[in-house]
Amino acid sequence: MADERPATNSTDVDLEKGHSRPSSSQELKPKTEPESDSLHTNEKTLNNEPEQEPEHNTASQPVDDPNLVDWDGPDDPENPMNWPDRQKWLNIGLISLLTFVTPLGSSMFAPGIPAIMVQFGETSSITATFVVSVYILGFAFGPLIVAPVSEMWGRRPLYIWGNIFFVLFSVGTALSQNMDMMMAFRFLMGVAGSVPITIGSGSIADIMPVEMRGRAMSAWALGPLLGPCIGPVAGGYLIRETSWRWVYWLVCIVGGICIPPSFLYMKETYAPILIERKVLKLRKETGNNNLHSKLDSGQSVADKFKIAIVRPVKLLFLVPIVTSMALYVAIVYGILYLLITTFSFVYRDQYGFDEGTVGLTFLPAGIGMMIGVVVFGALSDMLVKRRMAAGGDLVPEIRLTPAVALPCATVLPVGLFIYGWTTEKQVHFIVPMLGVVIFSAGLMGVMMCIQNYLLDTFPRYAASVTAALAVLRSLAGALLPSPASRCTTPSASAGATASSASSPPP
C-alpha cells in the first residue's frame, strides 16, 4: 500500500501462518464509493489470498484479466451496498426479528423451573441452573459451524433453515418427557438459534455504509440482550395461567410466523456469493467457462472449508485485540446473566413479590438496553459522520473513542453496586431497579463500541469475528450463573452481584 502513515497500536495476524504484523487500520479512507468496508488487509491474511482491493468496490479498479467478473461499476444495482434503503432495512428488520425470537427461548421458561423440577422428579439446584445454561451452550458451539458455512455458501439459506430447525427443536422441547430430553432439545434450540446472532453483523456489513452501521448494529444487537430480559415477563404470566410447555409452543408459533417473510423477502447479501452467481449466469449466456469471480481465491471447496472452519478460532486466540475484547464482552455478558439469575429470589424474598410480579422485575434491564441503543448507536454514527465532514481519515478506532467507551465502562460497576448494596439493605425496590437500568445502558454502550469496531476492522469476515465473540460470551453466560445457584440467601446473592462490580473497564 502507498499509505505510509504510522500504524496503530493494534496488530493484524496472518491466521494461516500464525505471525503478527503491524495493523493496517490506517487504510480506511473517507468513502467516495458505495463500498463501506473499512479494513481489508486483514482479509488477505485470513485465507492467504493475494492482495486485492476491498471486496465490493473492485469494479472501479483496472483489470487485466478479461475473464475476471466483478460488479458492473461502482453503481451496480446488484451490489448490496447500492440497494434502496427500503430493501436494506427490510433485510435488517427480518434479521433483527429472528435475533430477538431465538434468545427468548433461553430464559422465557425460567419462572416455570420449580414446576419442571417437580414434574421430572429433580431436586438438584445445579440441574435447575444447567437446564437454563445448556441453551446458552448451544449459542457457544453453533457459531463455530455457522460462521464458516455462511462465508462459503451465503447468509440467506442459513437464516431460513436455521429458523426452521429452531421451530422443530422447540416442538421437541415442548413434548419433552424427562429432563434429559429437555436438555438435549434446548441445546439444539441454542445451536439453531445461534444463526442470526452469529451472522447478523456480517449481513449488516454487507449492505450498510460505515456511517450508518451504528444504528443498524444497535437494532440487531438488541435481540440477544433484550430477549432474555423480556422473555421471563411474558413467561411468568403464561406459565401461571397454563403450563411451562406453552412457553415453547409460543416460541414455536412466533418462530413459525417468521418463516414465510424470511423466505419471500430476505435476500442474499454476501458479495462473493452474489458475484459467483453472476459468473455462473454469464458462463451459461456466453459459453465461456473461463470466466471467474474476482473474489474467488482459487481454492477448492475442501480447502476453503478447512480455512473457514478454523478462522473464528484463530481470530480468537491469535489476534490480541479480538482476544482482549472477547474476554471483556464475556465477563460483562456473564454478569448480565448472573444478575438475571438473582431477580427471581431476591425480589421474592427481600420484597415479597409474587411469581407474576417477579417477571416484571426483568423490565428495567430491557429499558436500560433500549436507552443504550438509542443513545450510543446514534452517537457512534454521529462521530463517524463528523470525522468524514472534517475530511479526516476513517479508522476503526473511531468506534472506541474515549468519550463514549470510558463512560459506558464506568457506569457498569456503578449500576451493579447500586443493585447489590440496596437489595441487601432492603432499600425501596425502585432503587435497585434504577441500578439495573444504569448497568444495562452501559452494557449496550460497551457492546456497540466493541462490535462496531470489530465489524469495521474485519468487514468481509464479520461473521467469523462475531463467532469469536459469541463463543466466549455464551460460555460465560452459561457458566457464570452457576455460583448464583449456590447463594442460599438473598444477601449472599446481592453480595455476589455487587462483587462483580470490580470488573475493570477495557
All domains of the chain, ordered by start, with CATH?
Answer: 80-269+306-502 (1.20.1250.20)
Residue 180: Cβ within 10 Å count: 10
Widest Cα–Cα separation across the chain:
78
CA distance 239 to 113: 10
Write down the pLDDT at residue 34.
37
Element (H, E) at 37: none
**Cell numbers at residue 354, please?**
409474587
CA dihedral 51, 54, 58, 60 (to 10 degrees): -120
Burial 10-45 (b: 16+ CB within 10 A, else e): bbbbbbeeeeeeebbbbbbeebebbbbbbbbbbbbb
Instruction: Measure Cα distances from 394 to 29, 387, 388, 461 in Å.
Output: 5, 7, 7, 19
**Cell numbers at residue 185, please?**
432439545
Estimate the crossing angle of helix 320-351 against helix 301-318, to 10 degrees. 70
CA distance 297 to 304: 9
Estimate the crossing angle of helix 430-457 against helix 462-479, to 10 degrees. 150
For residue 452, which of 409, 407, 404, 499 has the smallest C-alpha distance?
Answer: 404
Q: Is 49 helix (H, G, I), strand (E, B) or coil?
A: coil
**Which backbone phi and psi does 354 adopt, to 5 degrees?**
-85, 180
The one-letter amino acid at 501: A
Residue 370: Cβ within 10 Å count: 17
Write down the pLDDT at residue 455.
81
Could you tell me how many helices (H) and strands (E) the chain has, helices first?
19, 4
- Residues contacting residue 254 through CB under 8 Å, at least 6 positions apart: 101, 104
CA distance 87 to 79: 12
Residue ranges of the alpha helices (H) in 242-354?
245-265, 271-286, 301-318, 320-351
Write down the pLDDT at residue 148.
84
CA distance 375 to 449: 12
Instruction: Measure Cα distances from 199 to 57, 97, 495 in Å.
Output: 21, 14, 37
pLDDT of the chain along its 506 residues, tens only? 444 433 334 444 444 433 333 343 333 443 334 333 333 334 444 554 433 334 444 444 445 677 788 888 888 888 999 999 999 999 999 998 999 888 888 778 877 787 888 888 888 877 877 888 888 889 888 888 888 888 788 899 999 999 999 999 999 999 999 999 999 999 999 999 999 988 888 898 889 887 777 778 877 877 776 777 778 778 878 887 888 899 899 999 999 999 999 999 999 998 888 988 888 888 888 888 888 788 776 777 777 777 878 888 888 888 898 898 889 888 888 888 788 777 877 887 788 887 667 778 888 888 888 888 778 777 777 777 787 777 767 777 777 777 777 888 888 889 989 998 888 888 888 999 999 999 988 888 888 888 888 888 887 777 788 888 888 888 887 777 666 555 544 444 444 444 444 444 44
